[in-house]
A and B are shown apart, each in its own frame.
Chain A
Amino acid sequence: MISRRQAQIIGLVVAVIVLAVLLVLPHQTGTTSTLRWAQVLYIGIAAMGLNLLTGYNGQVSIGHGAFFGVGAYTTALLMHNEGWQFLPTLVVAAPVCFLVGVVVGFPALRVKGLYLALVTLGLAVLFPDLTKRFVHATGGTNLVSLTRAELAPPAWVPLWVSGEGRDDQWAYYVTLGAAIVLVIAAVIIVRSRFGRALIAVRDHEAAAETVGINVAQVKVLAFAVSALYAGIAGSCAVLVTHIANAEKVNTFQLSIEFLVAVVIGGTATVIGPLLGAWIVVFLQHYISDDLPNHVSSLGPLKRVLGEPAASPAIFGILLILFVYVLPDGVVGGARRLYARLTRSRRTRAPAVPPSPTPLTT
Chain B
Amino acid sequence: MRSRREFLKTCCACGAAGAALRLTRFGLIAANAQSSPGYKALVCVYLGGGNDGNNLVVPLSTADYQAYATGRNVLALAAGSLLPIPVTGAPSGYGLHPRMVQTKSLYDQKKAALVFNVGTLVRPTTRAQYRAGGNPVPKNLFSHSDQTNQWQTSNTAGTGGAGWGGRVIDLMQSLNTTTFPPGVSVAGASAMLNGVQTHAISVSPGSRFGLDSFGSGAGDQARQLAMQQILTFDTGVSPIASASGVTTSALKTAQDVNAALSGRRR
Chain B binds chain A: no
Interface residues, chain B, with chain A CB atoms under 8 Å away: none
